[in-house]
Structure 1
Amino acid sequence: MRSLKLLALAGLALTLAACGHNTEQRAATGAAAGLILGGPVGAAIGAGAGVVVSKTQDR
C-alpha cells in the first residue's frame, strides 16, 4: 500500500512540476507539491521531476 501511495505522489509531483517558465520555477513547484503530499521525500521527488520536465520541454 505504501508503494502505491508513493507512486501516486510521484505522478502528481511530475504533473505539477510542469508549472513554471524555467527550471527553477518548475523545480520549486514540484518540490512544494511533493512536500505537501509526501513530506521531505516527496519534496525531493518533486524537485527532481521539475528539473527533468524542464529539461525535456526545453528541447
Structure 2
Amino acid sequence: MRIHTAGAMALLIGATLLGGCSNMNHRENRALTGGAIGAAGGAAIGAVTGGSAIYGGLLGGAAGAAVGALTADEGRHRR
C-alpha cells in the first residue's frame, strides 16, 4: 500500500513540474536541456571516479545550465 502511494505522489509531482515547461523561450529551453545533460554527465563521472554522484550531478547541472543559457542565440540566425 505504501509503495503505491509513493509512486502516485512521484507521478503527480513529476507531471506538475513538467507542466511548467510548456511556455519557455529559447534561452530557457537551452538552459534546461544543458542542466539535464550536465547533471547526468556529472553524476556519471562522479560515480565512476569514486567521488560523489550527488555532488557531481549538482556541479554538472549548474555548469550545463549556465553554458546552455549563455550560448542561446535568441532566435538570431546567421547567414
Offset of residue 51 of structure 1:
0.8
After TM superposition, the score normalised by the length of structure 2 is 0.43
Report which of the two has the higher share of helix.
1
Unaligned runs of 5+ residues in structure 1 are 1-20
Give SS of 2:71's match: helix
Q: What does residue 3 of structure 1 align with?
A: none
Between structure 1 and structure 2, the one with the greater Rg is 2
Q: What does residue 16 of structure 1 align with?
A: none
Q: What does residue 4 of structure 1 align with?
A: none
What's the C-alpha RMSD, in Å, of the aligned pairs?
1.4
Runs of 4 or more above 6 Å deviation: none
Q: What does residue 18 of structure 1 align with?
A: none
After TM superposition, the score normalised by the length of structure 1 is 0.57
Identity within the alignment, %:
41
For this pair of structures, how many residues does the alignment match? 37
